[in-house]
Chain A
Amino acid sequence: MIDIITNMLSMCIPFSVALLLASIGEMFNQRAGVFNLGCEGVMAMGAFVGMLIPFMAGGGGAVSEWYNFLGFAAAALLGALFGLFFGVVTVTFRAPQGIAGIGLQMFGVGTAGTLFRHFVGGTQSIPGIPDIDIPLLSDIPFFGDVLFSHNAVAYLAYIFIPVAWYILFKTPWGLKVRAVGTNPRAADSMGINVSRTRYEALMLGGALAGLAGAYLSIAQAKMFSDTLISGRGFIAVALVYFGHWHPAQIMGGALLFTLAQTFQTIVQSMGISFPYELAVMLPYILVIVVLSFTSRNQTTAPVSLGKPFNREIRT
């Protein structure tokens, strides 16, 4: 039994990274007052570009780790550009954020699939990045497998959580982000450039969503297909609400969701008499239940979330 529990927990960290990165990115968007339902599309583009670079370099064979790094960098850059584009649509042109996000999702997924067919062809895999056993620590019984035998990006993603917290709560820029998401008019009167801050947050959020997609294609599945993201972008958006726009709580949500995923897999594999359809639904039901019980606590929600800012209009 201990082996089964160790196996289940050891999968939580690497399998939660894509959700974690995307939802932290979405948190920055929403803290600035913009929700981006196009996260799924940005992830798809990140996954495609991230996989394309090592694939083109090695033709599907082994390549230098630098190409994988380049794939991540390109995915982040492209994600930032998508964030910029979303900013043009929702901040400058003040388009409805929900509709624009759905459009971005469809555009990203469709474009990634089209470009993939053109440049790569059918479903292809890459060697990706390997797991790293941290010396000494990975030898610790139980904790070694659960915490210290994962790929480098997984470690970096979790190290980024306190960094994200610091950026959001301890830096002048983080204060600006929270100000424009809470009361943009007051922020504007204090000399904060609301549009610029929202653009910056959207670009950071886009870059993280691009990285999340690249994580799936380079580090986790080590392949690309049109359906690689399969709704994880929307789960990431839900996790932001789940985690009350706080990095640590979002991390908890990502881990809990992934734990539920791995748990239902184990329930099925152990031959426990339980309808698999319900087992597959378990993580999603969990999100809905937790959201239902925590939705009353809205004190941390950005008050101006979803509201375009126009300094010429008094509200």
Chain B
Amino acid sequence: MKKILVLALVLVLPFMAFAQGGEETASDDTFKIALIIENTIDDKGWCQSMHDGITQAIAEMSDKKIEYSYSEKMLPVDAGSIARQYVAEGYDLIIAHGAQYKNLILEIAEEYPDVSFAFGTSSEIGPANVFTYMPESEETGYINGIIAGRVTKDNIVGLVGPVDSGDAARYNRGFVLGVQAVNPSAKILVAHTGSFSDYVKASEVATSQLGNGADVLTGSSQQAIGALRATAESPTAMWVGQDLAQLTTAEGQAKCIAASSYAYAAVVKGIVEKMESGVMGGECIPMNFANGGFTFDYNPALKAEWVSPELEAEVQAAIDSFVADPDGTLADWADVDYSTL
């Protein structure tokens, strides 16, 4: 028995050296938020944007005591135990960031009606203690489409998609509409990898599109970094991004003309405020330019070369139209049919 214990300790100790907590703050009698994600908080994509949003929201709500914890690399099959652990530890709001957690959250929410849960992207109205959120990312796609349609020299643009659902489907179709709005003759190459996190496949798809003449590419989800990396290999091709974190990478600084990003801080603040007013869920919170759910910025290193004042004005006009009429401007995004491109 003693030998087994010693052996177990020897096997476990090396990993303890690398252990790091996922807790941002800690104090008693506070509002407690937990985040469950399938990738990591620094994936320069989907998961990082929510993590950054929560930390920003906490900073902006400095008058409140908020404790925040996160669990990374949680497959839906594993996430149930950690969600229940958070419930047991008295967390007030548990956010499972991804539509893949839907069934899990609905099941646990029924077990624990006094705890609020949130998952997205989803436009469904959940039970009384479940919030959903849906980035209307056809708006960010449209903006990037305008830029791609204007800056392409070979009149071919590429789109590296993960799967054709959720906010990725909205972004991709918005991108197509944006390109077609300013450059109807442009050829748009659309391909999906079938995964959100296969960086190699995303890079292969991008390489294929570059080889077929695309000179401006875009992509969504965390795997887009792989496509951006492949784009960086081309001396002439450029990129428009779906996450501002891409601008912080070396290849993003060299190739990414502009990027939009989800500003989850607005969602998190909205949920916290609703909970304080007694609303525990049962609402879908849309994210769009009108409610501050998106941010957009140009790459300062590339703006002068690639973004003309006319293009900038065109982009700003589109954003203004989204702000003025968030429900109507791109209401036909779902009608985009890739087979007609």
Which residues of A come within 8 Å of B, CB atoms?
Answer: 3-4, 7-8, 10-11, 15, 60-61, 113-115, 117-118, 121-125, 216, 220-223, 225-228, 230, 232, 261-262, 265-266, 268-274, 276-277, 280-281
Contact = CB atoms under 8 A, between A and B. Distances in A.
A227 B225 CA distance: 12
A265 B191 contact: yes
Given A268-B191, A271-B341, A228 B212 contact: no
Contact of B191 (A123, A273, A276): A276
A76 to B, nearest CB: 20
B116 interface: no
Contacts of B191: 265, 268-269, 276
A254 to B, nearest CB: 14
15 contacts: A122-B48, A221-B200, A221-B226, A226-B39, A226-B73, A227-B197, A266-B208, A266-B212, A269-B189, A271-B339, A271-B341, A273-B339, A274-B339, A276-B191, A277-B194
Given A269-B158, A276-B192, A216 B200 contact: yes
Contacts of A225: 43, 197, 199, 222, 225
Contacts of B188: 271
Contacts, number: 119
A269 B199 contact: no
B340 interface: yes
B87 to A, nearest CB: 26
Interface string B2-33: 00000000000001001010000000000000
A270 B187 CA distance: 9
A221 B213 CA distance: 20
A281 B339 CA distance: 19
B247 to A, nearest CB: 14
B203 interface: yes
Contacts of A60: 250
Nearest to A229: B200
B36 interface: no
A268 B200 contact: no
A48 to B, nearest CB: 13
B190 interface: yes
Nearest to A18: B200
B200 A269 contact: no
B193 A280 contact: yes
Nearest to B204: A15
Interface in B35-81: 39-40, 42-44, 48, 73
Contact of B190 (A10, A11, A123, A269): A269
Given A7-B212, A114-B18, A125-B250, A227 B198 contact: yes
Contact of B200 (A121, A228, A281): A228
Given A123-B43, A221-B203, A276-B164, A271 B338 contact: yes
B211 A10 contact: yes
B224 to A, nearest CB: 11
Nearest to A231: B198
A265 B204 contact: yes
Nearest to A117: B40
A232 B198 CA distance: 11
A226 B40 contact: yes
B249 interface: yes
Nearest to A111: B15
B170 interface: no
A8 B207 CA distance: 10
